[in-house]
């Protein structure tokens, strides 16, 4: 399988090169030249498979040119054996035909573990094969950083530099990153917001001269295709658990960077019957404003109780725009260049097509807290603020009550005690046993100004062979 850039000017690459490249040389994101498609009969035959074997069925077409089947199966078995639940992504029922899929049973208690535990193993495999070293540079709004560090910290051929917005992630999220010890692990707190961190990563991938030609950058953010690929699987898992593919499913997805819901869109294109995809955002609602009014316009970023979605520039949205524009890279490039200068819209027929695919809702902090409290009082089930936004949006946007509605539970509530307290509940979510001493562990991170040159200088100085 070959991969092409959403801006149409970079060379097509194979899986190995896409894994290591991250951002395309023309500034675009890599997507498969074509998608595998599974029949209803084939999907039905996967019922009852263990999660790792289902992951093999869904993902192997994307990697078969690069990784032998037995090696990939082994990698997947190792990846999902570290999750704390035998089902890996268990479903919890909230109401009639309403479910939460718990995606926080991995080592760092967030859905990012599904992709980043695998990404670390993929990198190890490919870099060992090539005898190559890379520097991972990533930005996090909260959960990607800890999942990337946990997934990649044992990689022999990697140095990791993770940027997070200083004082704008929860304390648990920060400590999960900054208490992991290792000479190859570097946490950078940037005096800015997540969009500033993400911009620095993109600029650095576009010009890597600060590394002196001695190594290259690799991506862990969802600009890396391998992240999206791994997230497709749990849509199939949820559907098969609830009677799919013989009945359609609806999904509500808390999202800021559009990666997780784009994976659902791909699952639908690959043959999984999905009748509705709900984009659930907080008040940083650029995606909702586009879907509801065909206006893509950046506003001032607001700090909320759901910090992992405090994002205004949704990188993966470019992948959807590529499809909406008939895979015309030049049109996408022109649109995004105009979007950097001010509000943009797309042709009405393209926007109406997007509206057939997606619904959307923006949920403020008060409604988030109300939902956390209501669900707990109804079910004694505690939601983190991001999942609460997903549940609220699902209820506000639901098209058909006869279709099962599945909200992706993106993080463990213990990561966000302030939001739980703000909801008025006296219950205090507990960290699981393997993190019980998190607040006693030594932290290590560096605070830097909101300056790409300062961040690049730090990386150039501190990677192991500098």
pLDDT at 348: 97
pLDDT at 369: 98
Residue 162 host element (H or E): strand 158-165
Residue 299 neighbours by CB under 8 Å, 6+ apart:
284, 286, 312
Sheet holding 446-448, edge to edge: 216-218, 134-139, 158-165, 185-190, 446-448
Task: Convert 150-185 to b/e letters by CB count within 10 Å (16 or more is b).
Answer: bbbeebebbbbbbbbbbebbbebbbbbbbbbeeebb
Active site residues: 112
Angle in degrees, CA 432, 433, 436, rounded to 5: 85
Domain definitions of the chain by residue range:
88-108+227-422
pLDDT at 221: 83
Q: Which residue in 431, 442, 444, 419 sits closest to 107, CA to CA?
A: 431
Do the beta carbons of residue 151 and residue 117 sit within 8 Å? yes
Convert the pLDDT of each residue in 35-75 to its tens digit: 999 999 999 999 999 999 999 999 999 999 999 999 999 99
pLDDT at 466: 54
Q: Which residue in 123, 167, 151 sits closest to 17, CA to CA?
A: 123
Partner residues linked to 250 by β-bridges:
276, 405
Partner residues linked to 161 by β-bridges:
137, 186
- How far is it, in rounded angstroms, from Cα 125 to Cα 210? 27
Convert the pLDDT of each residue in 138-174 to its tens digit: 999 878 899 999 999 888 899 999 999 999 999 999 9
pTM: 0.93
Q: How would you write the pLDDT of the chain (466 residues) with one tens digit per residue?
A: 999 999 999 999 999 999 998 789 999 999 999 999 999 999 999 999 999 999 999 999 999 999 999 999 999 999 999 999 999 999 999 999 999 999 999 999 999 999 999 999 999 999 999 999 999 999 998 788 999 999 998 888 999 999 999 999 999 999 999 999 888 999 999 999 999 999 999 999 999 999 999 999 998 888 899 999 999 999 999 999 999 999 999 999 999 999 999 999 999 999 999 999 999 999 999 999 999 999 999 999 999 999 989 998 899 999 999 999 999 999 999 999 999 999 999 999 999 999 999 999 999 999 999 999 999 999 999 999 999 999 999 999 999 999 999 999 999 999 999 999 999 999 989 999 989 999 999 999 999 999 999 999 999 999 987 5
- How far is it, in rounded angstroms, from Cα 316 to Cα 10? 17
The pair of three-digit structure tokens given for residue 155, joined into one six-digit string = 């990689």
pLDDT at 77: 98
Q: Does domain 88-108+227-422 have CATH number 3.40.50.720?
A: no
């Amino acid at each position: 399988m070959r991969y092409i850039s959403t801006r149409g000017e970079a060379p097509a690459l194979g899986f190995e090169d896409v894994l290591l490249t991250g951002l395309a040389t023309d500034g675009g994101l890599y997507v498969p030249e074509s998608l595998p498609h599974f029949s209803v009969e084939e999907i039905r035959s996967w019922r009852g498979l263990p999660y790792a074997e289902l992951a093999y069925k869904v993902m192997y077409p994307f990697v078969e040119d690069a990784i032998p089947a037995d090696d990939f199966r082994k990698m997947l078995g190792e990846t999902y054996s570290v999750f704390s639940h035998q089902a890996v992504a268990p479903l919890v029922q909230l109401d009639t035909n309403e479910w939460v899929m718990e995606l926080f049973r991995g080592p760092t208690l967030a859905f990012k573990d599904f992709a980043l535990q695998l990404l670390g193993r993929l990198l190890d495999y490919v870099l060992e094969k090539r005898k190559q070293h890379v520097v991972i540079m990533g930005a996090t709004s909260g959960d990607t950083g800890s999942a990337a560090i946990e997934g990649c910290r044992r990689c022999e051929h990697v140095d990791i530099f993770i940027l997070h917005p200083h004082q704008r992630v929860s304390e648990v999220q920060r400590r999960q990153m900054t208490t992991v010890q290792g000479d190859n692990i570097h946490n950078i707190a940037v005096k800015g917001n997540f969009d500033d961190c993400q911009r620095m990563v993109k600029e650095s991938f576009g010009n890597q001269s600060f590394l002196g030609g001695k190594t290259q950058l690799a991506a862990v953010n969802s600009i890396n295709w391998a992240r999206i690929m791994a997230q497709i699987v749990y849509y199939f898992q949820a559907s098969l658990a609830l009677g799919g593919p013989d009945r359609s499913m609806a999904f509500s997805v808390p999202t800021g960077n559009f990666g997780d819901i784009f994976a659902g869109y791909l699952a639908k294109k690959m043959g999984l019957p999905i009748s509705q995809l709900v984009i659930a955002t907080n008040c940083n609602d650029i995606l909702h404003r586009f879907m509801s009014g065909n206006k893509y316009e950046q506003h001032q970023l607001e700090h909320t109780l759901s910090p992992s979605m405090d994002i205004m520039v949704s990188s993966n949205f470019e992948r959807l725009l590529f499809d909406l524009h008939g895979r015309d890279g030049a049109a996408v490039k022109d649109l995004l260049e105009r979007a950097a200068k001010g509000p943009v819209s797309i042709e009405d027929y393209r926007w109406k097509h997007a509206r057939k695919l997606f619904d959307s809702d923006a949920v403020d902090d008060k409604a988030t807290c109300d939902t956390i409290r209501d669900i707990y009082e109804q079910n004694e089930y505690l939601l983190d603020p991001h999942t609460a936004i997903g549940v609220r949006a699902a209820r506000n946007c639901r098209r058909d009550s006869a279709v099962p509605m599945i909200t992706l539970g993106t993080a463990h509530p213990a990561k966000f005690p302030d939001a739980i307290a703000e909801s008025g509940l006296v219950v205090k979510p507990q960290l699981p046993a393997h993190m019980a001493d998190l607040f006693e562990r030594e932290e290590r991170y560096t605070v830097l100004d909101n300056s790409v040159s300062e961040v690049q200088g730090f990386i150039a100085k501190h990677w192991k062979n500098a």
